[in-house]
Amino acid sequence: MISVEEKLLVNVLYKPESEILNGIEINDINFDNLIKLASRHLMLPALFFNINKKNISYLFPEDFIEYIKNIYSINKARNTVLLKEAKELSELLYKNNINHIFLKGTALLLSNVFEDIGERMMCDIDFIIQHKDEEKVEKILEKNNYFTNNIIDLFRVFKPKHLTTRVNKNKTIRIEPHLELLSPKYRVVFNSKKLINDFKDETKTIKTPSKPFLFDHCIYALQIEDKRFFNSYHSHRSIYDIYKLDCKNSLTVKKIKKDIFITHFFINIDKFKIFDIHIKTTLLNSYFYKFLRKILIINQILFQIISIIIELFYSNELRKRALNKISNNYNNKTLLNYLYKWLKA
C-alpha cells in the first residue's frame, strides 16, 4: 500500500505538471509525513528542485517550501564544494600518475546526469584505483593531509571494498578510495574487472565510468550491498539515479529479465509506475527468488566463517584478540572452551 504522501512525492519527481494531482486529493496530504518520508530517502533537495521546475509551489504551505528551499540551497553549496574538492583530488592523483575513476554520486554529478547539482544528496567522494596502486595512494594521501582515525587492518584475506575513509582537515568532504565495487562475498556477481578497459586508457583527471556501468553499479550496490534483494524496501534516491541516467530507450523487458538483480529492482518499484516497464511475477518466480535469497544468505554465512578461520590461522594479532575475548567473556561455556583450547593449540 502506497501512502498518499509517497504518491505525491513520486508524481512530483517523475510526472509532468498536469499529472501531479492524478489520484491525489491535496487536502489529504500530511506535509509533516511528507517531510519525514522525503528526508528519510534523502530526497528533500530533489523534491524542491522539481516543485520549483514544475511551478507547483502553490500546492504546498509556504513554510514547507521555505524549509525545503533552505535544505536544497545548503545541499547545492555543499555539492559545489564537493565538485571542487573532487577536482583537486583528481589533480593530485594525476600528478602522481595514479589512474583513478570516480564512482557513485560523484560520478553522476561529474557526468552531468542531473539537471542541477543541488538535486542529489551525497556523503563522500568515491573513486576507484587499481590494486597495484594501493600503497602508493595511501602514502600520497597521508603526505597531503588526508588523515584517517580508522584502524587499518593488519591482515586481510581479500582486498577490502575500499581503503579507510579519509578527511583533509582543510577540506570539507571525506574521501573513500575504492579497490573494488562490492564486498568480497559479492564479487562473483559484479567486480572491478568491468572497469579494466577504462583503466587501460591513459591516466587523466576527472574520469567517470560509462552510463551503462553506472546503471549496473547502482542496481547491484542497492540490491546486493544494501541488501534490498533480501527485503522489499526501496530507495527513492536510487530510483531517481536510475531515472536520471535515462536508460529508458535501452531498457527492455527482455534485457531486464536476463539479470535477476535488475529484474528484482524493477519488480520492487513496479507499484510506482515510474518506468514504462512492467514485469509480472509468477508464483514460480517468487519461489525461485525465495530459494535464491536463501542460497545467498547461506553463501554469506559460509564466506564469513571461512574468512574468519583463515584470518585466525594466519594472523597472530587476531588470534590473540580472539583468545582474550573468549577467555574474558565465555569461561563457562563448554563449546567456546573447546574452541579456546583449539585456538591455543
Residue ranges in 225-284 that form contacts with another protein under rule CB under 8 A: 225-227, 233-238, 241
Residue ranges in 120-139 that form contacts with another protein under rule CB under 8 A: 121-124, 126
Nearest approach, Cβ of residue 284 and another protein (Å): 28
Q: Which is nearer to another protein, 126 or 133 (CB)?
A: 126
Residue ranges in 31-60 that form contacts with another protein under rule CB under 8 A: 32, 35-36, 39-42, 44
Q: Identify the CA nearest to 101 among candidates 202, 232, 248.
A: 202
**Phi-psi category of residue 332: left, alpha or beta, with phi > 0 → left and psi -120 to 50 → alpha:** alpha
Q: Which is nearer to another protein, 207 or 236 (CB)?
A: 236
Contact 265, 222 (CB under 8 A): yes
Q: Given candidates 7, 8, 48, 75, which one binds another protein under the rule CB under 8 A?
A: 75
Distance of alpha carbon 177 from alpha carbon 101, whole angstroms: 10
Q: Identify the CA nearest to 275 among candidates 247, 306, 238, 303.
A: 247
Q: Count Cβ atoms within 10 A of the Cβ of residue 22 and give its class: 0-12 exposed, 13-18 middle, 19 or more buried.
A: exposed
Contact 240, 130 (CB under 8 A): no
For position 170 contacting another protein by CB under 8 A, the verdict is no
Nearest approach, Cβ of residue 297 and another protein (Å): 13
Nearest approach, Cβ of residue 199 and another protein (Å): 20
Q: What is the CA radius of gyration of the chain?
A: 23
Nearest approach, Cβ of residue 20 and another protein (Å): 21
Fill in the per-residue mask, 172 to 191: x = in contact with another protein (CB under 8 A), - = not in contact.
Answer: xxx-x-----x---------
For position 163 contacting another protein by CB under 8 A, the verdict is no
Q: Which stretch binds another protein (CB under 8 A): 28-36, 135-143, 262-270, 335-343?
A: 28-36
Contact 251, 278 (CB under 8 A): no
Q: What is the DSSP letter of 129?
A: E
> Nine-digit cell at 132?
597495484
For position 105 contacting another protein by CB under 8 A, the verdict is yes
59-67 contact pairs (CB < 8 A, 24+): 59/20, 59/21, 59/26, 60/31, 61/31, 64/31, 64/34, 64/35, 67/35
Nearest approach, Cβ of residue 298 and another protein (Å): 18
For another protein, the binding residues (CB under 8 A) are: 32, 35-36, 39-42, 44, 63-64, 67-68, 70-71, 74-75, 78, 103-105, 121-124, 126, 148-150, 161-162, 164-165, 167, 172-174, 176, 182, 217-218, 221-222, 225-227, 233-238, 241
